[in-house]
Amino acid sequence: MSVYTDLLGQASSEFKDQVSRQKIEAFLKAIGHGGSNSEVPLIAPPTFATTCRKGEFELFTKLGIPLARVLHAEQEYHYKTEIREGDELRYQTKLGHCAEKKAPSGALTFLRFDTPVRIVREGVEQVAVESRTTIVVRG
Amino acid sequence: MLHKGQEIKHEPCSLISQDQLKAYAEASGDPNPIHLDEEVAKKHGLPGVIAHGMLSMAFLTSRAQAIGRDLGAGWKWDTVQTRFKNMTFLGDQISVGGSVRDVTDAEITVDLQCKNQRGEITTTGVVRFKPV
Protein backbone atom coordinates (compact mmCIF):
# COMPACT_ATOMS: atom_id res chain seq x y z
CA MET A 1 0.00 0.00 0.00
CA SER A 2 1.12 3.51 -0.70
CA VAL A 3 -0.33 6.91 0.08
CA TYR A 4 -0.90 7.13 -3.66
CA THR A 5 -2.87 3.85 -4.02
CA ASP A 6 -6.21 5.68 -3.95
CA LEU A 7 -4.99 7.83 -6.80
CA LEU A 8 -4.33 4.99 -9.25
CA GLY A 9 -5.91 5.76 -12.59
CA GLN A 10 -5.67 9.53 -12.04
CA ALA A 11 -5.31 11.17 -15.43
CA SER A 12 -3.66 14.39 -16.50
CA SER A 13 -5.07 16.90 -18.92
CA GLU A 14 -4.83 16.09 -22.61
CA PHE A 15 -1.88 17.81 -24.28
CA LYS A 16 -1.12 18.66 -27.90
CA ASP A 17 2.23 19.61 -29.41
CA GLN A 18 3.40 20.28 -32.93
CA VAL A 19 6.62 18.52 -34.00
CA SER A 20 8.66 21.10 -35.86
CA ARG A 21 11.97 20.56 -37.61
CA GLN A 22 13.52 23.03 -35.13
CA LYS A 23 12.36 20.96 -32.13
CA ILE A 24 13.84 17.76 -33.53
CA GLU A 25 17.09 19.53 -34.44
CA ALA A 26 17.38 21.05 -30.94
CA PHE A 27 16.79 17.60 -29.44
CA LEU A 28 19.37 15.98 -31.71
CA LYS A 29 21.92 18.67 -30.83
CA ALA A 30 21.24 18.22 -27.09
CA ILE A 31 21.96 14.47 -27.27
CA GLY A 32 25.20 15.04 -29.16
CA HIS A 33 23.96 14.64 -32.72
CA GLY A 34 24.54 18.17 -33.95
CA GLY A 35 25.49 18.86 -37.54
CA SER A 36 23.38 19.33 -40.60
CA ASN A 37 20.46 17.12 -41.43
CA SER A 38 19.18 16.82 -44.95
CA GLU A 39 16.50 14.23 -44.15
CA VAL A 40 13.00 15.36 -45.27
CA PRO A 41 10.82 14.91 -43.35
CA LEU A 42 13.16 14.77 -40.37
CA ILE A 43 12.57 11.66 -38.23
CA ALA A 44 12.64 12.16 -34.46
CA PRO A 45 15.17 10.10 -32.47
CA PRO A 46 13.80 7.14 -30.43
CA THR A 47 13.64 9.02 -27.12
CA PHE A 48 11.90 12.10 -28.52
CA ALA A 49 8.68 10.92 -26.82
CA THR A 50 10.24 12.18 -23.58
CA THR A 51 9.04 15.62 -24.69
CA CYS A 52 5.56 14.28 -23.86
CA ARG A 53 5.94 14.35 -20.06
CA LYS A 54 3.80 17.43 -19.40
CA GLY A 55 1.00 15.21 -18.09
CA GLU A 56 3.39 13.50 -15.68
CA PHE A 57 4.65 16.85 -14.38
CA GLU A 58 1.05 18.03 -13.97
CA LEU A 59 0.27 14.90 -11.92
CA PHE A 60 3.30 15.54 -9.65
CA THR A 61 1.78 18.91 -8.80
CA LYS A 62 -1.66 17.34 -8.28
CA LEU A 63 -0.16 14.64 -6.01
CA GLY A 64 1.90 17.19 -4.06
CA ILE A 65 5.26 15.73 -5.10
CA PRO A 66 8.13 18.26 -5.33
CA LEU A 67 9.98 17.70 -8.60
CA ALA A 68 13.41 17.91 -6.93
CA ARG A 69 12.59 14.73 -4.94
CA VAL A 70 11.92 12.77 -8.12
CA LEU A 71 14.45 10.48 -9.81
CA HIS A 72 13.83 8.56 -13.02
CA ALA A 73 14.09 4.81 -12.28
CA GLU A 74 12.95 3.04 -15.46
CA GLN A 75 11.72 3.92 -18.92
CA GLU A 76 10.06 1.71 -21.51
CA TYR A 77 8.99 2.59 -25.01
CA HIS A 78 6.91 0.31 -27.22
CA TYR A 79 7.15 1.61 -30.77
CA LYS A 80 4.30 1.44 -33.26
CA THR A 81 5.50 4.02 -35.78
CA GLU A 82 8.08 6.79 -35.93
CA ILE A 83 7.45 10.41 -34.95
CA ARG A 84 8.49 12.91 -37.58
CA GLU A 85 8.52 16.56 -38.53
CA GLY A 86 5.02 17.89 -39.20
CA ASP A 87 3.22 15.45 -36.87
CA GLU A 88 0.89 16.67 -34.16
CA LEU A 89 1.41 14.87 -30.85
CA ARG A 90 -1.54 14.17 -28.55
CA TYR A 91 -1.11 12.60 -25.14
CA GLN A 92 -2.55 12.15 -21.70
CA THR A 93 -0.78 10.50 -18.76
CA LYS A 94 -2.29 8.18 -16.15
CA LEU A 95 -0.89 6.93 -12.86
CA GLY A 96 -0.69 3.20 -13.58
CA HIS A 97 1.04 1.68 -10.57
CA CYS A 98 2.51 2.57 -7.21
CA ALA A 99 4.63 0.70 -4.69
CA GLU A 100 6.70 1.48 -1.61
CA LYS A 101 10.07 0.04 -0.71
CA LYS A 102 12.17 0.50 2.39
CA ALA A 103 15.73 1.70 1.88
CA PRO A 104 18.49 2.64 4.36
CA SER A 105 17.85 6.27 3.47
CA GLY A 106 14.12 6.00 4.24
CA ALA A 107 10.95 5.04 2.40
CA LEU A 108 11.02 5.16 -1.39
CA THR A 109 7.84 5.42 -3.42
CA PHE A 110 7.82 4.10 -6.97
CA LEU A 111 5.19 5.46 -9.33
CA ARG A 112 4.57 4.33 -12.91
CA PHE A 113 3.03 6.71 -15.39
CA ASP A 114 1.54 5.39 -18.64
CA THR A 115 1.40 7.66 -21.66
CA PRO A 116 0.24 6.48 -25.08
CA VAL A 117 1.66 9.10 -27.45
CA ARG A 118 -0.57 9.54 -30.48
CA ILE A 119 0.31 11.32 -33.69
CA VAL A 120 -1.96 13.02 -36.15
CA ARG A 121 -0.52 12.91 -39.68
CA GLU A 122 -2.53 14.02 -42.72
CA GLY A 123 -5.69 13.87 -40.62
CA VAL A 124 -5.13 10.30 -39.44
CA GLU A 125 -4.60 9.66 -35.72
CA GLN A 126 -2.61 6.64 -34.51
CA VAL A 127 -0.51 5.59 -31.53
CA ALA A 128 3.19 6.13 -32.25
CA VAL A 129 4.73 5.11 -28.93
CA GLU A 130 3.48 3.60 -25.67
CA SER A 131 5.53 5.12 -22.87
CA ARG A 132 5.91 3.72 -19.36
CA THR A 133 7.84 5.91 -16.98
CA THR A 134 8.75 4.71 -13.49
CA ILE A 135 9.99 7.34 -11.10
CA VAL A 136 11.11 7.12 -7.50
CA VAL A 137 10.12 9.71 -4.93
CA ARG A 138 12.84 9.99 -2.30
CA GLY A 139 11.59 10.33 1.28
CA MET B 1 23.63 -10.16 -39.37
CA LEU B 2 24.09 -10.38 -35.62
CA HIS B 3 24.69 -13.63 -33.78
CA LYS B 4 23.87 -14.72 -30.25
CA GLY B 5 26.59 -13.73 -27.79
CA GLN B 6 28.18 -11.20 -30.14
CA GLU B 7 29.96 -8.44 -28.30
CA ILE B 8 29.06 -4.82 -28.99
CA LYS B 9 32.17 -2.86 -28.06
CA HIS B 10 31.88 0.12 -25.74
CA GLU B 11 32.20 3.42 -27.58
CA PRO B 12 32.35 6.82 -25.88
CA CYS B 13 29.54 9.40 -26.09
CA SER B 14 29.83 13.10 -25.39
CA LEU B 15 31.32 14.27 -22.09
CA ILE B 16 28.57 15.44 -19.69
CA SER B 17 28.77 19.22 -19.49
CA GLN B 18 26.61 21.94 -17.95
CA ASP B 19 25.87 23.27 -21.45
CA GLN B 20 24.64 19.87 -22.58
CA LEU B 21 22.36 19.47 -19.53
CA LYS B 22 20.94 22.94 -20.11
CA ALA B 23 20.35 22.21 -23.79
CA TYR B 24 18.80 18.83 -22.94
CA ALA B 25 16.51 20.32 -20.26
CA GLU B 26 15.25 22.85 -22.82
CA ALA B 27 14.89 20.43 -25.73
CA SER B 28 13.20 17.69 -23.68
CA GLY B 29 11.04 20.02 -21.57
CA ASP B 30 12.24 18.47 -18.29
CA PRO B 31 12.13 21.24 -15.67
CA ASN B 32 13.60 19.23 -12.76
CA PRO B 33 16.11 21.60 -11.08
CA ILE B 34 18.38 18.76 -9.84
CA HIS B 35 19.78 18.63 -13.38
CA LEU B 36 20.70 22.30 -13.48
CA ASP B 37 21.05 23.85 -10.04
CA GLU B 38 23.88 22.67 -7.77
CA GLU B 39 22.34 24.28 -4.69
CA VAL B 40 18.94 22.62 -5.19
CA ALA B 41 20.57 19.26 -5.91
CA LYS B 42 22.62 19.42 -2.68
CA LYS B 43 19.63 20.64 -0.67
CA HIS B 44 17.83 17.46 -1.74
CA GLY B 45 20.63 15.15 -0.62
CA LEU B 46 22.46 14.68 -3.91
CA PRO B 47 26.25 15.11 -4.21
CA GLY B 48 25.70 17.67 -6.98
CA VAL B 49 23.94 18.21 -10.28
CA ILE B 50 23.06 14.90 -11.95
CA ALA B 51 22.45 14.24 -15.62
CA HIS B 52 18.98 13.35 -16.89
CA GLY B 53 18.46 9.59 -17.04
CA MET B 54 16.83 10.15 -20.41
CA LEU B 55 20.07 11.60 -21.76
CA SER B 56 21.76 8.26 -21.02
CA MET B 57 18.83 6.50 -22.66
CA ALA B 58 19.36 8.73 -25.71
CA PHE B 59 23.03 7.63 -25.84
CA LEU B 60 21.96 4.00 -25.50
CA THR B 61 19.28 4.20 -28.20
CA SER B 62 21.63 6.04 -30.56
CA ARG B 63 23.85 2.98 -30.42
CA ALA B 64 20.83 0.72 -30.91
CA GLN B 65 19.85 2.82 -33.95
CA ALA B 66 23.21 2.08 -35.53
CA ILE B 67 22.66 -1.64 -34.89
CA GLY B 68 19.17 -1.34 -36.43
CA ARG B 69 20.64 0.33 -39.54
CA ASP B 70 23.09 -2.55 -39.92
CA LEU B 71 20.21 -5.04 -39.67
CA GLY B 72 18.62 -3.44 -42.72
CA ALA B 73 15.06 -2.75 -43.82
CA GLY B 74 13.75 -6.19 -42.85
CA TRP B 75 13.76 -5.34 -39.13
CA LYS B 76 12.04 -2.64 -37.11
CA TRP B 77 12.26 -1.28 -33.58
CA ASP B 78 9.83 -2.89 -31.20
CA THR B 79 10.69 -2.01 -27.61
CA VAL B 80 13.38 -0.41 -25.50
CA GLN B 81 13.45 -0.91 -21.73
CA THR B 82 15.99 0.92 -19.60
CA ARG B 83 16.87 1.01 -15.93
CA PHE B 84 18.72 3.93 -14.42
CA LYS B 85 20.93 2.22 -11.86
CA ASN B 86 23.53 4.81 -10.90
CA MET B 87 23.70 8.56 -11.22
CA THR B 88 25.69 10.36 -13.90
CA PHE B 89 27.48 13.54 -12.90
CA LEU B 90 28.96 16.59 -14.60
CA GLY B 91 32.28 15.67 -16.21
CA ASP B 92 31.42 11.98 -16.53
CA GLN B 93 32.36 10.23 -19.75
CA ILE B 94 29.70 7.69 -20.68
CA SER B 95 30.33 4.86 -23.11
CA VAL B 96 27.77 2.44 -24.54
CA GLY B 97 28.28 -1.22 -25.40
CA GLY B 98 26.89 -4.65 -24.65
CA SER B 99 26.08 -7.93 -26.31
CA VAL B 100 23.49 -9.74 -28.40
CA ARG B 101 21.28 -11.80 -26.11
CA ASP B 102 19.35 -13.77 -28.73
CA VAL B 103 18.64 -13.97 -32.44
CA THR B 104 15.59 -15.81 -33.78
CA ASP B 105 13.44 -15.42 -36.89
CA ALA B 106 10.86 -13.64 -34.73
CA GLU B 107 13.06 -11.34 -32.63
CA ILE B 108 16.54 -9.98 -32.05
CA THR B 109 17.31 -8.97 -28.46
CA VAL B 110 20.29 -6.80 -27.60
CA ASP B 111 21.52 -5.89 -24.10
CA LEU B 112 23.24 -2.53 -23.86
CA GLN B 113 24.82 -0.69 -20.94
CA CYS B 114 26.03 2.81 -20.27
CA LYS B 115 29.26 2.84 -18.25
CA ASN B 116 31.08 5.78 -16.74
CA GLN B 117 34.86 6.38 -16.78
CA ARG B 118 35.17 4.45 -13.49
CA GLY B 119 33.69 1.37 -15.15
CA GLU B 120 30.43 1.57 -13.19
CA ILE B 121 27.27 0.64 -15.06
CA THR B 122 24.89 3.60 -14.87
CA THR B 123 22.10 2.45 -17.20
CA THR B 124 21.05 -0.91 -18.57
CA GLY B 125 18.83 -1.38 -21.58
CA VAL B 126 17.15 -4.15 -23.52
CA VAL B 127 16.36 -3.43 -27.16
CA ARG B 128 14.09 -5.69 -29.19
CA PHE B 129 13.83 -5.70 -32.98
CA LYS B 130 11.04 -7.50 -34.85
CA PRO B 131 10.77 -8.45 -38.52
CA VAL B 132 8.81 -5.94 -40.61
For the stretch B92-105, pLDDT in tens is 999 999 999 999 99
pLDDT in tens, B63-100: 999 999 999 899 999 999 999 999 999 999 999 999 99
Bridge partners of residue A126, in order along the sequence: A119
Q: Is B31 on the interface with A (CB under 8 A)?
A: yes
Query: Element (H or E) spanning B59, and its range?
Result: helix B53-71
Q: How close is the nearest chain A Cα to the Cα of B104, in Å? A: 19
In chain B, the residue whose alpha carbon lies closest to the alpha carbon of A130 is B79
Whether the predicted pLDDT of B14 surpasses 60: yes
pLDDT tens-digit profile of B31-74?
999 999 999 999 999 999 999 999 999 999 999 999 999 998 99
Average pLDDT, chain A: 93
* Confidence check: pLDDT of A6 > 80: no
Set of chain A residues whose Cβ sits within 8 Å of the Cβ of B55: 30-31
Mutate to test the interface with B, among A20, A47, A131 (most CBs of B within 10 A): A47
C-beta atoms of A46 and B80 within 8 A: yes
Model confidence at A104, pLDDT cuts 50, 70, 90, reads confident
The per-residue pLDDT for B105 is: 95
Q: Average the pLDDT over B115-125 and give the result.
A: 97
* Residue B104 half-sphere exposure toward CB, CA atoms < 13 A: 5
Q: Is ipTM beyond 0.90?
A: yes
Taking residue B11's Cβ as centre, other Cβ atoms within 10 Å add up to: 12
Three-class SS state of B55: helix
β-bridge pairing B108-115 and B93-103: antiparallel
Q: With contacts defined as CB-CB under 8 Å, which chain A residues touch B24?
A: 30-31
